[in-house]
Amino acid sequence: MQPAVEIKAASPPILLIEGVSVRRNKTDVIKDVNLKIYPGEFVGIVGPNGGGKSTLIQAILGVLKCHSGRILISDNQFSSKGAFGRVAWVSQSAANLPKNVRLTVRELVSLGVLNNKNWFLPNRASSKVEDAIALVGLGHLAQRDVNQLSGGERQRAVIARALASEADLLLLDEPLVGMDRASRSSLLKLLDRFCHEQNKTIVMISHDIAAMLQTTHRLVYLEETIWFDGPPANFPDLEELALMRGIEDVHGACEVCDDDLPPVLEAE
């Protein structure tokens, strides 16, 4: 197993995961997961279907209970007052609004700042909404119905909603699904800019390993446990990953030399 990256940070980790295991039906979906993620990092989590990526996100959010270990956000449990408002989650289906829902981009983003203190005073949060819309480059579409946007534009809108909440840690679950190449590239550049210019911390689940290699600051390969955690430049190739996980090349043992091949039949 690849050891975790050692990062000398001036500040403590914004997300600390220590020895976390999560069980479903008495079976470990993830086990002994350890991660330290620091402010301003863009971390990609990749791995196969059923490898535990979404389970880990749900454990961070407190949706699933840890069988063992602990998860702290800025030294606080997710449910505690100290962690309140520090995390925003953009689910895989967040941009797929029902066709009968009628919301403008501005109205959708406004949902990110509503709470029990400003529910009846929405103007107090309006500047956050406008700033978030501008950050994702949708200012010219603020009054457009969300269902009239392209897939890439809708994804930007739901990310703007997360930004409007002023959360420090953004959890993104497969935000690239259904986007064309240009939209994917544009969104990834935008996310990287959030880290560098806004000091946002992003943890992003994706099956697009190629995109993650080109974009993230750090890549984590998760399949029940962490097999790699390090810079994208050091990410193992497919053959190394297979060996790391104990998967052998079944064809290598079946190679047949030329002498063993049957003779070619001559044409009559």
pLDDT tens column, 111-131:
877 654 444 445 555 778 898
Which class is domain 15-260?
Answer: alpha beta
Question: pLDDT category, 265, cuts 50, 70, 90?
Answer: very low
Q: What span, in angstroms and rounded, lies between the C-alpha atoms of 77 and 23?
A: 19
> Regarding predicted confidence, which is higher, 107 or 266?
107
Amino acid letter, residue 198:
Q
Tally Cβ neighbours within 10 Å of residue 175: 26
User: 168, 207, 203: which is closest to 86 by C-alpha?
Assistant: 168
Q: What are the structural domain ranges in the chain?
A: 15-260
Residues with Cβ < 8 Å from 192, sequence gap 6 or more? Answer: 42, 215
pTM, rounded to two decimals = 0.80
Question: pLDDT category, 104, cuts 50, 70, 90?
Answer: very high
Predicted confidence (pLDDT) per residue in 39-86, tens digit? 999 999 999 888 999 999 999 988 899 999 999 988 766 554 545 567
Give the mean pLDDT of 208-232: 93
Q: What span, in angstroms and rounded, lies between the C-alpha atoms of 72 and 74?
A: 6
Mean pLDDT, the chain, as a whole number? 82
Question: pLDDT category, 256, cuts 50, 70, 90?
Answer: very low
Amino acid letter, residue 218:
R
Q: What span, in angstroms and rounded, lies between the C-alpha atoms of 178 and 191?
A: 17
CA 61 distance to own-chain centroid: 13
